[in-house]
């Protein structure tokens, strides 16, 4: 799957050929390059470098100096590559796009994970990912210290308010969902829905858009009868307050949809 993502990215950027590089750089010219951190960050995405260069050819040596999840301080080298100068130049932007984006996700995930350290609450990612890049972005979130939630609509049941409305109620939705044999989580918005979900054996509850104070009250009422996830409006500034309510999980789409691309550069030298 990663190879397919890389192939589409290369086709999008290079198309019929890198006209600037082909015009300016001799075919047999050799070069080396290094990916350099321009700020402190958590690395993610280094695994895409090999398929990038393998698909374009002309690279003799690729050395990964950092692994996904490792910290990198400003000025450190993440990876080096050596081979045909044309290949290094035509792959430069695609390689940087992946590294900058995925390291940004990992860096953001690490900030969230560190913010809740010691509370016993885990940070979950969401499906709010870049279309086509979910696998890589979830890998990056995990590298940063977040816990992956469901990959998509196919591997776990999450009954939300619109499912409850369409099914005719909490009991009906849960009864029908059991036929899947998959893990079930259900969102509850009122105390009545909460009691109904627990009476029907709910083992995992989603509480959305509560304040930390409200969430703490709900968690006390649940009293360990089900796992609790909090979501909605959770930011780096307030995530610890939510984690301190006694919830098992907090989820934040910001880990993927709002992660800033970190500053990584590519330095090329002739050999």
Catalytic residues: 93, 128, 160, 187, 208
230 phi and psi angles, rounded to 5 deg: -110, 140
DSSP, residue by residue, the chain = -HHHHHHHHHHHHHTT--HHHHHHS-TT-EEEEEEEESS-EE---GGGHHHHHHHH--EEEEEE-S-TT-EE-TT-EEEEEEEEHHHHHHHHHHHHHHHHHHHHHHHHHHHHHHHTTTSS-EEE--S---TT-HHHHHHHHHHHTPBP--SSTTSSEEE-HHHHHHHTSHHHHHHHHGGG-S-EEEE--SHHHHHHHHHTT--EEEEES--HHHHHHHHHHHTTSSEEEEESS--TTTHHHHHTTT-SEEE-THHHHTPPPP-EEEEEEE-
What is the chain's length?
271
By C-alpha distance, which of 124, 100, 141, 111 is closest to 227? 124
């Amino acid at each position: 799957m990663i190879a397919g993502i890389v192939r589409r990215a290369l086709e999008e950027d290079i198309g019929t050929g890198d006209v600037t590089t082909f015009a300016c750089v001799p075919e047999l010219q050799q070069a080396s390059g290094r990916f350099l951190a321009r700020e402190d960050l958590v690395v993610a995405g280094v695994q895409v470098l090999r398929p990038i260069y393998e698909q374009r050819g002309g690279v003799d040596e690729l050395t990964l100096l950092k692994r996904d999840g490792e910290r990198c301080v400003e000025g450190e080298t993440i990876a080096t590559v050596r081979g045909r100068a044309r290949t290094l130049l035509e792959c430069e932007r695609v390689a940087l796009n992946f590294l900058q984006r995925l390291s940004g996700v990992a860096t953001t995930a690490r900030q969230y994970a560190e913010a809740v350290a010691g509370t016993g609450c885990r940070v979950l990612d969401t499906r709010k990912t870049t279309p086509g890049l979910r696998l890589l972005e979830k890998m990056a979130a995990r590298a940063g210290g977040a816990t992956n939630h469901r990959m998509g609509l196919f591997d776990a049941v999450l009954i939300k308010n619109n499912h409850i409305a369409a099914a005719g109620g909490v009991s009906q939705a849960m009864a029908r969902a059991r036929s899947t044999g998959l893990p079930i989580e259900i969102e509850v918005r009122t105390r009545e829905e909460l009691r109904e979900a627990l009476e029907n054996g709910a083992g995992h509850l989603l509480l959305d858009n509560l304040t930390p104070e409200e969430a703490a009250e709900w968690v006390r009422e649940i009293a360990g009868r089900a796992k609790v996830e909090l979501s909605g409006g959770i930011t780096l500034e307030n995530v610890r307050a939510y984690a301190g309510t006694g919830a098992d999980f907090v989820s934040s789409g910001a880990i993927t949809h709002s992660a800033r691309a970190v500053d990584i550069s590519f330095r090329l030298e002739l050999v």
